[in-house]
Structure 1
Amino acid sequence: MVRFPLLKIAALAGFAGWSFITASAGAQTQASHESAVAAQVSRVQRSTTTAKPFAANWDSLAGYRTPAWFQDAKFGIFIHWGVYSVPAFANEWYSRNMYVAGNKAYEHHIATYGLQSKFGYKDFIPMFRAEHFDANAWVDLFQKAGARYVVPVGEHCDGFAMYASDVTPWNAKAMGPHRDIVGELATATRAHGLRFGVSSHTAEHWWWYGLGRTFDSDVRAMNSTPTNGLPPTSLLYGPASPRNLPAADGTADDRKEPDPDHLERWVPPSQDFLNEWLAKSTEVVDKYHPDFMYFDWWIGQPAFKPMLQQFAAYYYDRGAERHEQPVLTYKQESMPANVATLDIERGKLDTLRLLPWQTDTSVSIHSWGYAEHDEYRTAKSLVHQLVDTVSKNGNLLLNVGPKADGTIPEEARTVLLQIGDWLRVNGESIYGTRPFTVFGEGPTKAAKNATEKNNDIQSYTAQDIRFTASHGTKEPLLYATLLGWPSQSETVIHTLFAGNPYLPGAVCAADLVGGKSNLNFQQRPDGMHVTMPSSTEGLGDIAYVLRIHTHCK
């Protein structure tokens, strides 16, 4: 028997939510959409042909340098929020998986909402009301957590834009909450003195709804003309391409996952889709002037290469016009290392990287968006990841997934505030620092190139120590962060042995940040021996920072 939640019943009652769609969105046709895309792409191409300082080629873009503001910030907040927070089931891939026969989301959807031909993903939009969304309250929480930049998802793979788009009518200003979510967050973030960014996952939209074409669903039945006051559903669900290139025998089973590390084996996007991707991406730049832009992994598909060059040149040149230095991230090998900033999803590096980089992970373990019954990481594990990342010249972008009503889950709020409590005491070892010659020491090792494999959760010991160095301060300082409290009264930092040639001088003093000053210590051939306080009272149970001086008067 199909069961219908009260929320669904309210939405189905004459589809009252659709009656509030803006007239301009409801009237948009395929032709007007194509015209908007063409106009934006033409604007970008004219600009990247003549603008300075960057041109749309890798050689010119190699002049880019990651700005100091990003290297100083260290910690940001990522926000996965969209229509997928309404079903709140399993993870943020619900919009795709509800059309994948055999997937638990497919079965859940039929049991909970009915057949996909009768109730499709688009029908969640009137239920996405965001009635309790308060951008200022969100950013106030993020600032208390210690974040220095905020990055909402502008458009996820589902094709629903969370901003007031002129390119797609399927956006949060025209329907659903009827609010420019990205715009409100941009205003609130900057009012709090933080940097603002936007992420785009539009590249994956090329194939996102492809399996919806294989059975009786509203994806198969999508229309290309306005119907019943709604814009063409093809502008939400299309192109719905298959993913697999035909096999040697001329067949391709799209239910079989193609190799995510060999995107050249996937069906390449059409030029029309690439133009739409460029139009949407640069529209965000024009409307919100983001300090930071994040692209998901599928931009690594070879067909995106010329578009990435055009986008990067356009984005960097617009920043230069405002005397700003923006940050653009890429994953894996999708861009050359010297033209943008590497991002590693739910992973880490096993050593220090000379170029700045970033890892992104989530407070929630199983989903980036809000999902009922998800599990949450501890503040301790996330601070340890932050400390490890910063010691290797990286930043941590930490995700939260708000509920459909605009509230942030209490579990996430608690973790964020606990991280903020630690950073308020120990932030001097994080913000504005640069890596020491050696990132750290201890028995716990990250897997080599532990990327994209959910390898970012590790348990550390008191012998695991991470280093950072002050930057631009009057007195050069070294920070040694212990990722556990030593079981004995003395801890040994082997890296800081007597005569270490990479120290600016002999150690002359050591303090416990937030605790006792002038700790007893000795530098010996086997390391720096430090006598620790007898108790961690007032220091918490997360991590402990030693401030090490080499220029005492």
Structure 2
Amino acid sequence: MKRRTLIKGALTGISSLYLSKLYSKGLFLADGMQGIAPGPFQSSWDSLTQYQVPDWFRDAKFGLWAHWSPQCQPERGDWYARGMYQEGSDQYKYHCEKYGHPSKFGFKDVINEWKADKWDPEELVSLYKKAGAKYFVALANHHDNFDLFPSKYQSWNSTRIGPKKDLIGGWAKAAKNNGLPFGVSVHAAHAWSWYETAQRSDKSGPLTGVPYDGKMTAADGAGKWWNGYDPQELYAQNHPLSLDSENNGMIHKQWNWGNGVTPPSKAYCEKFYNRMITLIDKYEPDLMYFDDTALPLWPASDVGLRVAAHLYNSSIKKHGKLRAVINGKILDEQQRKCMVWDIERGQSNQIEPLPWQTDTCIGGWHYDRRLYDNNKYKSAKTVVHTLADVVSKNGNLLLNIPVRGDGSIDDKERAVVEDVAAWMAVNSEAIYGTRPWTTFGEGPAMETAAPLSAQGFNEGKGKPFVADDIRFTTKGKTLYAILLGWPENGKTLVKSLGDKSKVTTVSLLGGPGRLSFEQSASGLSVHLPEQQPCKDAFVLKIEGAIV
């Protein structure tokens, strides 16, 4: 279908619902608003329920993520571009000491300091492939509203300011060279309210009442490095503060665009939409991760629905079938049929009927030097145990390796990645292409599993896994029992395999061959070899009439 241009003036007073229908038919507006690619998906939840998770994602199980943006430049942790405007906070104090007061040196100026001069995407993605990643995801923008790709809809992007490079283009090329599906994560829908701290000023001290730079405009740039750029295009703060904006925790209650948040303007929403269509059309991602409740700007706008329909239809046009994946958080029953449910820093406590994903990190989301200095990274053991637990419940694990401001990863992060690679070299058969068994596992950790909170956040709240904790996966008629520790007495008992199952052979991945075993009503007792084939977790390959 050819797209037709509609005269903007003729649309005055037309409802957003009608406009949405026009978009879904591939029409677009004369003022630059782009339309939805033609295809079976339209911009409604009912239409999106046609979605089926592609096999590549179901089989992949493990992805690695570069959650990297200018907020990594200070190396002071996550949400820096918000925290630096919170008077008295750690990031505010650090910012004042390192850069100066936020009325004089704002986050826009931090962006200008970011050069990414040691960034080698080919080397990093190659390393991640060796570690067993079956897809790679790169951050396309964060709540700081800075795009890491060229766009005529956002002047504040990495090809014009900071690194002066197309970072998403570099990541996409490296992923393609390594044969990995490529994903992008998008977080910028929330800049509207997230940046409200930049409208503040100090309440005490010598600069009391002097506004931070969040309300600056292009007119303030005369003679400055940013002359010709409008800070409002970045900060988007030409609006009244949301209810209880001075409460730093209120942003979490307003994440779903309710509870007193100042509604985003139509211009803000449409600009976000155009940026997303540019991102999809230019890089053709296999996966889009949205850091939102359901979809971006929902329910304040239908922008997220239109983006989803465009991605799905574009994917069908390119591949002849739907290959694209969307990750969204806090989904209701209908929404889980429209995309892949993502749980942040947490896991489900049951086998989910539909594929899902855990996203987590070995440190903070944005690089924090203190975690390196104090040896606070997750160990490879924790990563492997999380992977086994998630996969046993029909999920995937997306793991972020924090990237330093200069574009490199540190030696301790690299060691974790290499240890995961060593484990996967022995045991990946029990991960890739598997499906859940009738039960996801057994062992004492199941009794202390913590419930999910909001978008997740239950990881690490139960008892640590021990040798009696086992997670199961299947492939065809083969059952894999992943032991999350090595039994001290040289034997393990798989209680879920009582005498109703007729086991014929048991072997240990990476081990010497078939193992001796006994089966009774109490379970399958397996004699393990003296030599451990790897570290952290150990996989029994079990065959026979398994029930």
Identify the TM-score tier after normalising by the shorter chain: 0.7 to 0.9
Sort the Cα spacing of 1:38 and 1:360 in 2 relative to 1 into closer, same or farther, 3 A: farther
Aligned to 1:372: 369
Aligned to 1:42: 33
2:57 aligned to which of 70, 78, 94: 70
Listed as ranges, the matches of 1:93-242 within 5 Å are: 93-215=79-201, 216-223=211-218, 227-228=222-223, 229-239=227-237
The CA distance in 2 between the partners of 1:432 and 1:361, in whole Å, is 21
The CA distance in 1 between the partners of 2:101 and 2:153, in whole Å, is 30
Partners of 1:149 and 1:195 within 8 A in 2? yes
Partners of 1:513 and 1:546 within 8 A in 2? yes
Partners of 2:215 and 2:237 within 8 A in 1? no
Aligned to 1:532: 528
Paired AA for residue 398 in structure 2: L
2:317 matches 1:327: no
Cα deviation for residue 377 of structure 1 reads 0.6
Consecutive unaligned residues in structure 1, runs of 5 or more: 1-36, 246-251, 501-505
Q: Bigger shift: 123-132 or 376-385? A: 123-132
Partners of 2:112 and 2:161 within 8 A in 1? yes
2:249 matches 1:257: yes
Sort the Cα spacing of 1:316 and 1:404 in 2 relative to 1 into closer, same or farther, 3 A: same
Residue-by-residue CA offset, 1:362-394 (whole Å, 9 max, x unaligned): 011xx2111111121100011000000000000
Q: Indicate the SS of the match to 1:72.
A: helix
Cα deviation for residue 163 of structure 1 reads 1.1
Paired AA for residue 222 in structure 1: T
Q: Indicate the SS of the match to 2:524.
A: strand
Listed as ranges, the matches of 1:416-495 within 5 Å are: 416-445=417-446, 446-449=449-452, 452=455, 454-457=457-460, 459-471=464-476, 476-495=477-496
Residue-by-residue CA offset, 1:429-481 (whole Å, 9 max, x unaligned): 0001111111111110221335646422351011100000014xxxx211000
Cα deviation for residue 104 of structure 1 reads 1.5
Aligned to 1:248: none
Aligned to 1:310: 306
Sort the Cα spacing of 1:78 and 1:494 in 2 relative to 1 into closer, same or farther, 3 A: same
Sort the Cα spacing of 1:241 and 1:352 in 2 relative to 1 into closer, same or farther, 3 A: farther
Aligned to 2:283: 288
The CA distance in 1 between the partners of 2:166 and 2:302, in whole Å, is 30
Aligned to 1:277: 272
Partners of 1:142 and 1:416 within 8 A in 2? yes
Cα deviation for residue 551 of structure 1 reads 6.8
Aligned to 1:25: none
2:535 aligned to which of 528, 538, 541: 541
Cα deviation for residue 353 of structure 1 reads 0.3
Cα deviation for residue 82 of structure 1 reads 1.4
TM-score by length of 1: 0.85
Sort the Cα spacing of 1:444 and 1:77 in 2 relative to 1 into closer, same or farther, 3 A: same
Partners of 1:210 and 1:242 within 8 A in 2? no
The CA distance in 2 between the partners of 1:82 and 1:442, in whole Å, is 40
Sort the Cα spacing of 1:297 and 1:176 in 2 relative to 1 into closer, same or farther, 3 A: same
Sort the Cα spacing of 1:449 and 1:114 in 2 relative to 1 into closer, same or farther, 3 A: closer
2:501 matches 1:514: no
Q: What's the RMSD between the two structures over aligned residues?
A: 2.1
Sort the Cα spacing of 1:442 and 1:451 in 2 relative to 1 into closer, same or farther, 3 A: farther
Cα deviation for residue 226 of structure 1 reads 6.8
Paired AA for residue 342 in structure 2: D
Partners of 1:40 and 1:283 within 8 A in 2? no
Cα deviation for residue 341 of structure 1 reads 0.4
Cα deviation for residue 344 of structure 1 reads 0.4
TM-score by length of 2: 0.86
The CA distance in 2 between the partners of 1:350 and 1:168, in whole Å, is 41
Aligned to 1:382: 383
Sort the Cα spacing of 1:453 and 1:60 in 2 relative to 1 into closer, same or farther, 3 A: closer
Paired AA for residue 349 in structure 2: D
Cα deviation for residue 268 of structure 1 reads 2.6
Aligned to 2:340: 341
Partners of 1:383 and 1:419 within 8 A in 2? yes
The CA distance in 1 between the partners of 2:504 and 2:305, in whole Å, is 50
Partners of 1:117 and 1:218 within 8 A in 2? yes
Identity among equivalent positions (%) equals 36
Q: Indicate the SS of the match to 1:373.
A: helix
Partners of 1:498 and 1:525 within 8 A in 2? yes
Consecutive unaligned residues in structure 2, runs of 5 or more: 1-27, 202-210
Q: Bigger shift: 483-492 or 389-398? A: 483-492
Residue-by-residue CA offset, 1:86-114 (whole Å, 9 max, x unaligned): 2111x121111111112211122112221
Q: Bigger shift: 291-300 or 509-518? A: 291-300
Paired AA for residue 313 in structure 2: D
Cα deviation for residue 162 of structure 1 reads 1.0
Partners of 1:201 and 1:295 within 8 A in 2? yes
Partners of 1:329 and 1:342 within 8 A in 2? yes
